[in-house]
Amino acid sequence: MPLPVPVPPEGVDPAWLPEQAFRPLGTRRVLIRGSGPLVDTVHGEVAAACERFGGRVDRDASPEPFDLSLELTGTDAAEAFTFERGAGRTTVTASGPSGLLYGLFHVVRLGEAAFRGEHRRERHSPALTLRMLDHWDNVAVHPVMGQVERGYAGGSLFWADGRARGDLERVRAYGRLLAACGINAVAVNNVNVHATEAHLLTDRIGEVADIAGALRPYGIRTHLSVTFAAPMVLGGLATADPLDEGVREWWAGATAQVYEAIPDFGGYVVKADSEGQPGPFAYGRSHADGANMLAAALAPHGGTVHWRAFVYDHRQDWRDRTTDRARAAYDHFVPLDGEFAPNAVLQVKHGPMDFQVREPVSPLIGAMPHTRLAVELQATQEYTGQQRHVCWLGPMWSEVLRLRPEEGASVGELARGGLVAVSNVGDDPFWTGHPLAQANLYTFGGLAWSPQADPGQLLDEWVGLTYPGASTGLWEALRKVLSGSWRTYEKYTAPLGVGFMVQPGHHYGPSVDGYEYSPWGTYHFADRDGVGVDRSAATGTGYAGQYTKAWAEVYESPETCPDELLLFFHHVPYGHELKSGKTVIQHIYDTHFEGVAEVEAAMEVWNSLAGLVDPARHARVAERYAEQLRSAREWRDQINSYFFRKSGVPDAAGRVIH
Amino acid sequence: MPLPVPVPPEGVDPAWLPEQAFRPLGTRRVLIRGSGPLVDTVHGEVAAACERFGGRVDRDASPEPFDLSLELTGTDAAEAFTFERGAGRTTVTASGPSGLLYGLFHVVRLGEAAFRGEHRRERHSPALTLRMLDHWDNVAVHPVMGQVERGYAGGSLFWADGRARGDLERVRAYGRLLAACGINAVAVNNVNVHATEAHLLTDRIGEVADIAGALRPYGIRTHLSVTFAAPMVLGGLATADPLDEGVREWWAGATAQVYEAIPDFGGYVVKADSEGQPGPFAYGRSHADGANMLAAALAPHGGTVHWRAFVYDHRQDWRDRTTDRARAAYDHFVPLDGEFAPNAVLQVKHGPMDFQVREPVSPLIGAMPHTRLAVELQATQEYTGQQRHVCWLGPMWSEVLRLRPEEGASVGELARGGLVAVSNVGDDPFWTGHPLAQANLYTFGGLAWSPQADPGQLLDEWVGLTYPGASTGLWEALRKVLSGSWRTYEKYTAPLGVGFMVQPGHHYGPSVDGYEYSPWGTYHFADRDGVGVDRSAATGTGYAGQYTKAWAEVYESPETCPDELLLFFHHVPYGHELKSGKTVIQHIYDTHFEGVAEVEAAMEVWNSLAGLVDPARHARVAERYAEQLRSAREWRDQINSYFFRKSGVPDAAGRVIH
């Protein structure tokens, strides 16, 4: 039986699955073979398209002329599919139901091309088995952080008014969008697990089960963030010690009940001993002890624990120049390599700090060969414009994933535990607040499926689906406003990798000294002579020495360190000459003027698209561009004024610095 | 009939009215003459004291040997009383009931001295008829500002859970404390009037009436903050234009109903066209038009409108160096002098900015001879340690009140419309959070009664009442920790009058650049060469020229400007030599080290008092000293590091600067 395609509420943007994207499929004769819930999903998709566009679909019928057959040939868990075309017929086969679903969306993506000429059989298989979104959604609205922590797209898709939403049709539509870009796992609540959210694990697991039920037809497994203190908070035990037998039994029992409610439950996500969350340190236990306890509870059911490596001292003394937050994850976790259970995944942020616009790749990645690592990206634009600025992160993520920390293996290959992104989605009609931020979500899915993919090609895929039948002009315009937007954002914000020049608390807009005297370990040390953090092994915090030899050598010296990370690794005088030939101070001035000019140009391009894109979408983006431009100018002027006041060096071009 | 003395809940600190303060009175034979509610209050006070300590009280009895007679001789509104002693009898007389109440508390203050020797008849009369506390209390908890805006003493005495408190016994006890230090008016809600609070004026006036009823027996009139937009918000009119006849009628009607509920209602407090509050500018009307409309509505009932002069552009562009927030009140209001109705009082903050630890006196005071001005102080320590730091403001307020802006008249004399303080009280057991902050409230009352009073003498009064029978050692210790605390606080915070180096939003703790690139008009312009704001008439914003000739000349030049205001009025190089002979930069270093040393010394003094003061009070103060010291060190290190990094000038004494 075909499963009906979800219908999101009136006014919700179709994102990359507009009806028109299904026209090529919907005008064909289609055969579907196989059985099971996901085959029903595929059947429903095809049936809806055929009904709309005049095609025909048959299920398990005998052979006769078909344009497309979608065939499930087995019952395994593989997500791969094959695609071929010959003798006028396109064939997709898969040995597992998810593969068939991905094959269907592959056909949608190809459009008419899927039905023309000949295609040799090709096999598509995700490079990573876990392609996950972490939602930092709160159930109860947090007094400071709101419904979604660091959320810039309205409320939560899952939770409202302290409970799971009753109508889950939009969650089903969300699952459909995710499947269409290859995502197969979702953690449905914030890693900062507050009092209300703790109960999702036990007496409120039914609400999680409802969400899991809505996501399941699109091949998505549901995960849950839990508090390490659950045995005390929920179980009334006197301890949460991971080696305590009672604690282990409590987790085993609680986990068994989770699986009764959600048989395909994915597992737990845990932020422990981090920014005030409880953890094993309180009991003198290691993070491997903590993770392995949960892994043991999950193992009988096939679940995984995602244990976050984001552990550092957030009560640092800014006067102390020897402690370096960038070192923390490596220092905490590398000694534990080999101690983690097979179903314990260490989830590592891609950079050593916290999702700044420019960071080096975390030295932890590649340094724990005996541990399954997942790499965590941030789709929600906490530090990259909060979905009021256009900042397509594809190129940044791709740079990270293609980098080779050690001989041979890239970050994308080392992420054996999966690729995870903090979600940028909410109940906003455009899903992501800024309509163009949808491209980040889509690109993430593509990179999780294939970390070596060309992000430009993923952007083209996204444009092709989102704007079916786009003219060359529209296509080029969209490429123009998106493709360079990350580097533009970098230009008008914190320079040369130094990071964290943002307003404390909400992190939007500039405040050069906002975190300079804070306990958060985020400093730039600007004085009248120079700026930057000396993280060299020779004279600094030693962080550069955490890398493998080749990278350690590159980062160790200002002469070899890439310009864009210079201030991350070195404290240099304002007159220091970059590889570009410019001084640091002149680079700061120039990039800030350039960045604003680039925003102005992009805004003009967008404005020229009025009439070519959906009016509501055009208006929303135009309104956000106005704010982006205002904010970019504020960034430019504050950063330039700050460094002019400190350095006293005038702009060589004589432009206005306030 | 004696009115029972209010009994605050168990555990509430008695502040300056402990039982023992009534012992001298309570052991005497007392005669009370006169009638009316306030005489009943006096009677109740004396009766309670006599019952406790074995004295005797008679009401309107025939003459026989008495130790003290308290006699009401008329029914006027005068608040004066006479005090004399002869032939073994102490006599207090008053022609109005409030006077008798103040006379009673005068006797309490004198203690045994009131019953010894001979005293020639002396008349005590308040210099100012309005001595008022403005509560910035919200009815509904504000999502950002909380129950009490800028409150550091817990919740509100008046409001909880969105409504007036049911039990008003503590409000009665509060009124008693206020009467004992001479305060006679209270505005019960925040000048930022939010949606819920707006309704106090109309359908929720009953709640205000209940509070007024609780305060009335102690001679305190109740005032209400109202929104200028009330005719629209509450009355459904299309405009709030002060010259619109319908608007004027609406206010007249609403006001008549207020007086039906509260016959002795004091009047309205209005913050208009200020920090986002609505006002007459929207209709092209002047602030005199706005104030006079409300004055007209209040006049038939004997009420007063307090119209705040805190009007400035809070969306200023930091790049614009010509606009100067300090100029705003003068620029807005001086042209209106002579236009305000007799019962419209213009309420002016004592300084031109916003209650910084050091500001010059507002040039508005003295510049509007045909307008009744009230001077507004801030007892709540928004910028002076938030009642976690000891900062007794008596000396600062006294300096302000004694200053003579023009030939002859002091600020205290020019404040014909009264002296007002933003309250520092909440539902905290110690009333003010920090027990020593009670001294600020008491001192404010004393200065409102007599602006020329010696603050040191008021402090002694407070110690005498609060710590009955204090030993010389205790007395001196309390003087030591309090008397210099304002200058200590000044030393370790923003230097030389520059102000606003605080963390944005909550305003606690240092952030040197926190408001430097903000829209709030609060800048210091520090660069690598110097610091301060040029407000001279010759080369700066012209603010110095707003003063009368003598002061304008003093402030105009760095050579004559007092050191402590140098950076308020001038931008000078770090090497500029102060009158003290020190350079500005060395002064910054020295005062910051001294300030912390002074906190350490005060903390030691306090710690030595363990066993000499009530244990709960001692513990609370000790705990706050620990925080004060931590915070003072943070201030010292941030300010010193900031200016060292900017100036590059080493400390002459070679102390550690991070």
How far is Cα of residue A320 from the mean position of the Cα atoms in its chain?
33
Residue B528 C-alpha, separation from nearest chain A C-alpha, in angstroms: 5
Residues A149 and A251 in one domain: yes
For residue A657, how many C-alpha atoms fall within 13 Å in the half-sphere facing its CB?
Answer: 24
SS3 state of residue B504: coil
Distance CA B111, CA B122 (A): 17
Distance CA B271, CA B282 (A): 14
Question: Are the beta carbons of B496 and B356 closer than 8 angstroms?
Answer: no
Looking at chain A, how many residues does it have? 658
Q: Are A459 and A443 in contact (CB under 8 A)?
A: yes
| Token couple for A389 | 């600025």
Say whether B354 is catalytic.
yes
Domain boundary among B124, B147, B173: B124
pLDDT, tens digit (0-9, with 9 covering 90-100), for B494-519: 999 999 999 999 999 999 999 999 99
Helix, strand, or coil (residue A132): strand
As given in the structure block, the two tokens for residue A355 are: 């999702």
Indicate the number of domains in chain A: 3
Tell me: pLDDT of B63 over 80.
Answer: no
Q: How far is CA A633 from CA A380, A499, A592, A593, A636, in A?
A: 23, 18, 9, 9, 5
Per-residue pLDDT at B62: 79
CA distances from B3 to A219, B18, B34, B214 (A): 77, 18, 14, 12
In whole angstroms, what is the distance from residue B642 CA to residue A112 CA? 64
Q: Verify that B240 and B98 share a domain, yes or no.
A: no
Whole-number pLDDT of residue B112: 96
Residue B324: helix, strand or coil by DSSP?
Answer: coil
Structure tokens at B65: 């040997």
pLDDT value at B191 more than 90? yes
> Which residue from B505, B513, B637 is facing A512, i.e. has the nearest CB?
B513
Same domain for A226 and A115, yes or no, is no
Residue matched to tokens 């009330």: B230
Domain match, A334 and A451 both: yes
Contact B636, B595 (CB under 8 A): yes
Give the number of other CB atoms < 10 A from CB of residue A238: 11
- Residue of chain A with shortest Cα separation from B656: A319
The count of C-alpha atoms lying within 13 angstroms of the C-alpha of A15, restricted to the half-sphere facing its C-beta, is 26
Rounded CA gap, B7 and B21, in Å?
16
CATH of the domain at A111: 3.30.379.10
Res B226: pLDDT: 98
Among B505, B510, B648, select the one facing A528 at the smallest CB separation.
B648
Q: H helices within A222-286, ranges in order?
A: 230-233, 245-261
Give the chain A residue whose CA is nearest to the CA of B645. A527
Q: Is B351:B362 a contact under the CB 8 Å cutoff?
A: yes
What is the C-alpha to C-alpha distance for residues A443 and A447, in angstroms, rounded to an integer? 6
> CB–CB of A242/A283 below 8 Å?
yes
**Residues of chain A with a CB closer than 8 angstroms to some CB in chain B:** 143, 318-319, 503-505, 510-514, 517, 526-529, 634, 637-638, 641-642, 644-648, 658
The answer to whether A84 is a known catalytic residue is: no
Q: How far apart are CA B574 and CA B525, in angstroms?
A: 12
Q: What is the model's pLDDT at position B468?
A: 94
Residue to test with chain A: of B528, B639, B642, most A Cβ within 10 A: B528
**A514 min Cα distance to partner chain B (Å):** 7
- Token readout for B113 is 């001295």
Compute the distance between CA of residue B43 and CA of residue B458 in angstroms, rounded to an integer.
26
At A625, the pLDDT band (50, 70, 90 cuts) reads very high
List alpha helices for B376-437, DSSP H: 394-402, 411-414
Mind listing the pLDDT tens digit for each residue in B381-433?
A: 999 999 999 999 999 999 999 999 988 899 999 999 999 999 999 999 999 99
In a 3-state reduction of DSSP, which class is residue B354? coil
Residues A139 and A214 in one domain: yes
Both A255 and A377 in one domain: the answer is yes
Q: Which of A60, A264, A275, A527 is catalytic?
A: A275
Kindly report the CATH number assigned to the domain that includes residue A352: 3.20.20.80
> Which chain A residue shows the shortest CA-CA distance from B527?
A645
Buried b (16+ CB within 10 A) or exposed e, B336-361: beebbbebbbbbbbbbbbbbbbbbbb
Residue at token pair 């502040």 = B15
Residue at B470 is within a domain: no
As a whole number of angstroms, the distance between CA B132 and CA B135 comes to 10
Residue A76 lies in a domain: yes
Residue A103 to residue A82: CA distance in whole angstroms: 7
Residue position matching structure tokens 């004060």: B628
A26 and A143 in a single domain? The answer is no
pLDDT band at B9 (very low <50, low <70, confident <90, very high): very high
Amino acid letter, residue A160: A
Q: Are residues B68 and B137 both part of a single domain?
A: no
φ/ψ (deg, to 5) at B87: 50, 40
Concatenate the DSSP letters of all residues of A268-319 into one string.
EEE--SSTT---GGGGT--HHHHHHHHHHHHGGGT-EEEEE-----TT--TT
pLDDT at residue A408 is higher than 90: no
What pLDDT sits at residue B143?
87
The answer to whether B422 and B380 have CB atoms below 8 angstroms apart is yes
Instruction: Decide if B192 contacts B136 (C-beta within 8 A).
Output: yes
CB-CB contact of B364 with B330 (8 Å)? yes
Question: Has residue A63 got a pLDDT over 80?
Answer: no
Q: Is residue B471 part of a domain?
A: no
B525 Ramachandran zone, left/alpha/beta (phi>0; psi -120 to 50): left
Distance from CA of B648 to the nearest CA of A (A): 7
pLDDT for residue B211 is more than 90: yes
Question: Residue A322, exposed/middle/buried by CB under 10 A (0-12, 13-18, 19+)?
Answer: exposed
Whether residue A564 lies inside any domain: the answer is no
A342 located within any domain: yes
Query: What dihedral angle (degrees, nearest 10) is formed by the CA atoms of B286, B291, B293, B294?
Result: 160
Which tens digits make up the pLDDT trace of A595-606?
A: 999 999 999 999
What are the phi and psi torsion angles at A626 (to 5°)?
Answer: -60, -45
Of B512, B528, B658, Cβ closest to residue A513: B512
CA distance linking residue A114 with residue B67, whole number of Å: 110
Q: Is residue A107 part of a domain?
A: yes
For position A502, which CATH number holds?
A: 3.90.1330.10
Q: Is residue A556 part of a domain?
A: no
Residue-range definition of the domain harbouring residue B40: 19-124
A407: confidence class by pLDDT, cuts 50, 70, 90:
confident
pLDDT in tens, A13-55: 999 999 999 999 999 999 999 999 999 999 999 999 999 999 9
Tell me how many degrees the CA angle B610-B615-B620 measures, rounded to the nearest 5.
Answer: 95
Between strands B344-349 and B304-308, the pairing is parallel
Mutate to test the interface with B, among A323, A515, A517 (most CBs of B within 10 A): A517
Bridge partners (DSSP) of residue B31 are B58, B69
Let me know the angle formed at the C-alpha of B66 by B61 and B67, rounded to the nearest 5 degrees. 140
- In this model, does residue B67 exceed pLDDT 90? yes
Q: Check residue B64 and give its pLDDT.
A: 80
B9 assigned to some structural domain:
no
Tokens in use for A239?
């301890």
Answer yes or no: are the C-beta atoms of A262 and A208 closer than 8 Å: yes
A341 and A370 both lie in a single domain:
yes
* CA-wise closest residue to A611 among A482, A505, A513, A473: A473
Both A219 and A120 in one domain: the answer is: no
Residues of B in contact with A318 (CB under 8 A): 658
Phi-psi region of B11 (alpha: psi -120 to 50; beta: other; left: phi over 0): left
Are residues B301 and B367 located together in one domain of the fold?
Answer: yes
Q: For residue B513, list chain A residues with Cβ-Cβ distance below 8 A.
A: 511-514, 642
What is the C-alpha to C-alpha distance for residues A230 and A228, in angstroms, rounded to an integer? 5
Hey, are the CB atoms on A319 and B637 less than 8 Å from each other?
Answer: yes
Average pLDDT for chain B: 97
Q: Are A497 and A564 in contact (CB under 8 A)?
A: yes
Cβ atoms of B207 and B164 within 8 Å: the answer is yes
Among B382, B428, B490, B590, the active-site one is B382
Q: Which uninterrupted H or E stretch holds B438?
A: helix B438-449
The angle, 0 to 180 degrees and rounded to 10, between the axes of the packed helices A97-110 and A455-466 is 80
Please tell me which of the candidates A319, A505, A638 has its beta carbon nearest to residue B658.
A319
d(C-alpha B145, C-alpha B161), whole Å:
15
Nearest to B528 among A318, A505, A648 (CB): A648
Q: Identify the sign of the CA torsion B209, B211, B212, B214.
A: positive
Residues of A in contact with B638 (CB under 8 A): 517
Last residue of a domain, one of B124, B144, B177: B124
- What pLDDT is attached to residue A143? 87
* Residues B274 and B318 both lie in one domain: yes
DSSP state of A483: H
Average pLDDT of span A141-151: 94
Beta carbons within 8 Å of A198's beta carbon, 6+ residues apart:
A226, A227, A229, A230, A233, A234
Is pLDDT at A444 greater than 80 in this prediction? yes
d(CA B39, CA B47): 12
Q: How far B377 CA lies from chain A's nearest CA (Å)?
A: 30
Question: How confident is the model over A352-388, as pLDDT tens digits?
Answer: 999 999 999 999 999 999 999 999 999 999 999 999 9
Q: How many CB atoms lie within 10 A of CB A538?
A: 10
Mean pLDDT, residues A97-115 taken together? 97
DSSP state of A434: S
Instruction: Please say if A354 is a catalytic residue.
Output: yes
Domain boundary among A69, A91, A124: A124
Distance CA A557, CA A544 (A): 9
Rounded to whole angstroms, the Cα distance separating A375 from A370 reads 15
SS3 A32: strand
Nearest CA in chain A to B633: A319
Could you count the other beta carbons within 10 Å of the beta carbon of residue B140? 14
